[in-house]
């Protein structure tokens, strides 16, 4: 009786995928109950057939939702199973200041500390590779509890390594809630080996799977800048590696040599061209060894080593050409010239293809449209079930308006067009009582509009999304916006507030999506388009248009978070109506095209009140 519309259909499709050992790509909108719909049939199947469920989700808040769902299933149906929540090792680590490190820097620091037996938390937890007597007691206590969130596990492990204890619990677990990184990275084989699990006996559920291709590409991409090299040189001198410091200085000079050869801001560079520059200094493999040896020495005193970062890049630079782009960039940053060499992954299947060996893989998200694109770029077979589900929210609770005489195309970014956009926004805001979120294609574009409208909106508090703000700063702004009446949020498509954030309680009365957040027309974007064109004959769609539509739809989805919410979504760009862009919009989306949004806004809210 509590199964929602669309949820039953999704549950049946999950059951069928599991029974037939196939994969499912499910484009399931908010409100359908994706977590329960995938977990319930998967758990039943896993317990009967001795399989392990890996539930992958990118945000810690979503980990909590999954664990809470598992608790309810356990209590309601009185099922006996073990589940564990494992977040990134860095976030479980009790060492202070560790959160400031990148994942790669942390992993190298952690490995050095364990190797040299200098981590007190690890030493307390492991004795000759096995859990210590006291650590076993903690693990047993955790196992006796209901499924715990990672933060709760951490609170049980005072003086011990929470990650190592979570790994031990994972050996006994039927459900492992973890991050993308644990399965879609180079650590996967090591992790599976440690917890005695096999990919063939695994059911892998990927939540918010629209993020997966880009996340994999980021994991497999590497970058080295002249700023890192300058810091590495200083680090080498500080720790007495003067000869190595000279070699690092020569690598920095090699950057300058490459820049002088071509007087452009970015260009493609061959693998061998950079290696030859390095080998003018020292044999390539030898300099990597010297850098890493020095980095280990540095990590005994510091958590991060720039010498280690340099060694890591040089090591991965030797990788394959197929599925990658090698790009030299020159950028200006506060009057400083920033040079970088980038080894950029274009092909997510480098990591995702091996996942096809799993019993079943289930990808779920509210913006996996078109599903065939995700099937193609993640390397799933043609037998994969690709399906879209209808929202369980009443369609009359959301009004979609398309404004046809606006565009944010680069060629039309002139004063007249900015003024037209500003006027539309002022008209929309003056027609709506309640909070409004407006999402722009970039910070620069947003700021231009903000300065045009701010003096006409002095009666309303405007919140500006801040680039590179901390998690705490974002939460503070979100809470303040939620508790301020008639507030306006000016955010960015693909930013902190357009995805993975819930504006609960019907706070948002309107979302305006201004333009399309298309990728910068740089060499990386062009490389991605060319690669997808070569592979699938759909380069512009897969590498440029559809990702922008997805960012717009994610932003649009912020306002309707429950079946009681009512709101208006306004898309301001004529390209949303073009055929090649419309393909990526939900088939069931109904909309009105208008240059007079106030008329529809008034009717919609009058109907709400009646």
204-245 pLDDT tens trace: 999 999 999 999 999 999 999 999 999 999 999 999 999 999
pLDDT band at 1 (very low <50, low <70, confident <90, very high): very low
Instruction: Please name which of 127, 212, 213, 111 lies closest in space to residue 168, comparing C-alpha atoms.
Output: 127
CA distance linking residue 304 with residue 309, whole number of Å: 9
H/E element holding 52?
A: strand 52-56
Q: What is the pLDDT of residues 349-376, one digit of tens each?
A: 999 998 989 999 999 999 999 999 999 9
Q: 187-202 as b/e, with b when 16 or more CB fall inside 10 Å?
A: bbeebbeebebebeeb
Quote the tokens at residue 256. Answer: 């300058």
Backbone angles phi, psi at 95, to 5 degrees: -70, 130
Give yes or no for a contact between 574 and 404, defined as CB atoms under 8 angstroms apart: yes
SS3 state at 29: coil
Spatial strand order of the sheet with 385-388 comes to 83-85, 175-178, 52-56, 202-206, 360-365, 24-27, 385-388
State yes or no: pLDDT of 444 exceeds 50.
yes
Backbone angles phi, psi at 263, to 5 degrees: -90, 60
Q: What is the DSSP string of 533-591?
A: HHHHS-HHIIIIIHHHHHHHHHHHTTS--STT--EEEEEE-GGGGSHHHHTTS-TT---
Secondary structure of 411-426 in HEC code, one letter for each residue: HHCCHHHHHHHHHHHH
SS3 state at 403: strand
State yes or no: pLDDT of 249 exceeds 60.
yes
CA distance linking residue 378 with residue 352, whole number of Å: 6
Give yes or no for a contact between 73 and 137, defined as CB atoms under 8 angstroms apart: no
* pLDDT at residue 506, rounded to an integer: 83
Give yes or no for a contact between 149 and 63, defined as CB atoms under 8 angstroms apart: yes
> pTM of this prediction?
0.92
Alpha-carbon torsion angle 369, 370, 371, 375, nearest 10: -130
Q: What is the pLDDT of residues 316-351, one digit of tens each?
A: 999 999 999 999 999 987 678 899 999 999 999 999
* pLDDT at residue 608, rounded to an integer: 62
Mean pLDDT of the chain: 93
Q: What is the pLDDT of residues 145-197, one digit of tens each?
A: 999 999 999 999 999 999 999 999 999 999 999 999 999 998 899 999 999 99
Quote the tokens at residue 491. Answer: 């955010």
Q: What is the pLDDT of residues 501-540, one digit of tens each?
A: 878 778 899 999 999 999 989 999 999 999 999 999 999 9
State yes or no: pLDDT of 50 exceeds 70.
yes
Instruction: Please name which of 219, 244, 387 lies closest in space to residue 305, comparing C-alpha atoms.
Output: 244
Quote the tokens at residue 37. Answer: 């719909």
* pLDDT at residue 322, rounded to an integer: 96
Q: Kindly list the structural domains of the chain, giving each domain's residue range(s) and its CATH number in brackets, ordered by start.
A: 1-81+174-219+359-392 (3.40.50.300), 91-147+159-166 (no CATH), 224-345 (1.10.275.40), 395-609 (3.40.50.300)
pLDDT band at 609 (very low <50, low <70, confident <90, very high): low
Backbone angles phi, psi at 490, to 5 degrees: -105, 100
The 10 Å Cβ neighbour count of residue 62 is 17
Quote the tokens at residue 310. Answer: 């340099």
Report whether the peptide linkage leading into residue 370 is cis, meaning its omega lies within 30 degrees of zero: yes
The 10 Å Cβ neighbour count of residue 283 is 10
* pLDDT at residue 610, rounded to an integer: 55
SS3 state at 17: helix
Q: What share of the chain has pLDDT > 70, as a percent? A: 99
CA distance linking residue 548 with residue 519, whole number of Å: 8
Give yes or no for a contact between 274 and 258, defined as CB atoms under 8 angstroms apart: yes
Give yes or no for a contact between 195 and 172, defined as CB atoms under 8 angstroms apart: no
State yes or no: pLDDT of 546 exceeds 90.
yes
The 10 Å Cβ neighbour count of residue 373 is 23
The 10 Å Cβ neighbour count of residue 521 is 11
Q: What is the pLDDT of residues 16-35, one digit of tens each?
A: 999 999 999 999 987 788 99
* pLDDT at residue 262, rounded to an integer: 87
610 by Cβ neighbours in 10 Å (0-12 / 13-18 / 19+) ranks as: exposed
CA distance linking residue 294 with residue 238, whole number of Å: 11
Please enumerate in sequence order all residues whose Cβ is within 8 A of that of 455, keeping only pairs 6 or more positions apart, or say none.
none
State yes or no: pLDDT of 394 exceeds 90.
no
Cα 514 to chain center, whole Å?
22
Quote the tokens at residue 516. Answer: 């399309």
Instruction: Please name which of 462, 565, 459 lies closest in space to residue 509, comparing C-alpha atoms.
Output: 565
Backbone angles phi, psi at 24, to 5 degrees: -135, 130
CA quadruple 332, 295, 223, 547: dihedral positive or negative? negative
Q: What is the pLDDT of residues 284-307, one digit of tens each?
A: 999 999 999 999 999 989 999 999
Backbone angles phi, psi at 223, to 5 degrees: -145, 140
Quote the tokens at residue 32. Answer: 């359908």
Instruction: Please name which of 257, 274, 264 lies closest in space to residue 310, comparing C-alpha atoms.
Output: 274
* pLDDT at residue 293, rounded to an integer: 96
CA distance linking residue 73 with residue 79, whole number of Å: 7
- For residue 357, list its beta bridge partners: none
Alpha carbon separation from 199 to 24, 183, 355 (Å, rounded): 17, 10, 7
CA distance linking residue 497 with residue 491, whole number of Å: 7
CA distance linking residue 292 with residue 112, whole number of Å: 11
């Amino acid at each position: 009786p509590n199964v929602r519309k669309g949820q039953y259909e999704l549950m049946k499709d999950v059951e069928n995928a599991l029974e037939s050992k196939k994969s499912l790509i499910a484009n399931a909108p908010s409100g359908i109950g994706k977590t329960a719909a995938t977990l319930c049939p998967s758990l039943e199947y896993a317990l009967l057939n001795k399989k392990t469920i890996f539930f992958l989700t990118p945000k810690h808040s979503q980990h909590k939702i999954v664990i809470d769902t598992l608790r309810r299933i356990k209590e309601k149906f009185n099922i006996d199973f073990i589940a564990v929540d494992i977040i990134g090792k860095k976030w479980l680590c009790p060492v202070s200041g560790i959160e400031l490190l990148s994942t790669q820097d942390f992993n190298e620091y952690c490995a050095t500390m364990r190797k040299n037996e200098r981590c007190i938390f690890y030493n307390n937890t492991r004795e000759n590779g096995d859990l210590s007597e006291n650590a076993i007691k903690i693990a047993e206590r955790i196992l006796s509890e209901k499924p715990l969130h990672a933060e709760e596990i951490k609170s049980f492990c005072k003086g011990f390594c929470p990650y190592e204890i979570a790994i031990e619990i994972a050996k006994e677990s039927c459900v492992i809630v973890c991050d993308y990184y644990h399965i879609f990275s180079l650590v996967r084989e090591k992790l599976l080996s440690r917890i005695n699990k096999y990919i063939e006996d695994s059911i892998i559920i990927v939540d918010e799977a629209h993020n997966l291709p880009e996340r994999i590409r980021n994991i497999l991409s590497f970058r080295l800048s002249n700023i890192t090299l300058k810091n590495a040189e200083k680090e080498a001198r500080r720790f007495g590696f003067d000869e190595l410091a000279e070699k690092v200085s020569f690598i920095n000079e090699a950057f300058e040599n490459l820049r002088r050869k071509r007087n452009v801001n970015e260009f493609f560079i061959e693998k061998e061209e950079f290696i030859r520059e390095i080998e003018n200094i020292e044999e390539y493999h030898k300099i990597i060894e010297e850098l890493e040896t020095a980095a280990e020495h540095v990590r005994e005193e510091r958590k991060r080593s720039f010498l280690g970062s340099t060694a890591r890049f040089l090591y991965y630079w030797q990788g394959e050409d197929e599925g990658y782009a090698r790009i030299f960039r020159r950028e200006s940053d506060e009057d400083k010239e920033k040079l970088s060499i980038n080894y950029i992954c274009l092909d997510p299947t480098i990591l995702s293809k091996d996942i096809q060996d799993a019993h079943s893989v289930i990808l779920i998200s509210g913006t996996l449209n078109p599903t065939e694109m995700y099937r193609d770029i993640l390397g799933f077979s043609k037998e994969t079930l690709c399906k879209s589900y209808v929202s369980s929210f009443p369609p009359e609770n959301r009004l979609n308006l398309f404004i046809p005489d606006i565009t944010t195309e680069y060629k039309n970014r002139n004063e007249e067009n900015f003024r037209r956009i500003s006027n539309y926004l002022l008209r929309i805001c003056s027609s709506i009582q309640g909070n409004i979120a407006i999402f722009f294609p970039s910070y620069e574009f947003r700021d231009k509009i903000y300065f045009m409208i701010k003096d006409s909106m002095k009666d309303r508090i405007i919140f500006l999304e801040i680039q590179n703000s901390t998690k705490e700063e974002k939460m503070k702004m979100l809470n303040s916006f939620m508790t301020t009446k008639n507030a306006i949020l000016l955010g960015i498509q693909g930013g902190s507030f357009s995805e993975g954030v819930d504006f609960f309680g019907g706070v948002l009365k309107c979302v305006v999506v201004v333009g399309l957040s298309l990728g910068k027309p740089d060499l990386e974007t062009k490389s991605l388009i060319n690669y997808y064109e070569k592979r699938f004959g759909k380069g512009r769609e897969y590498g440029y248009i559809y990702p922008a539509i997805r960012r717009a739809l994610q932003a649009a989805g912020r306002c309707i978070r429950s079946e009681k919410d009512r709101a208006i979504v306004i898309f301001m760009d004529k390209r949303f109506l073009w055929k090649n862009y419309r393909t990526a919009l939900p088939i069931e989306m109904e909309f009105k095209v208008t240059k007079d949004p106030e008329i529809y806004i008034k009717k919609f809210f009058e109907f709400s009140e009646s």
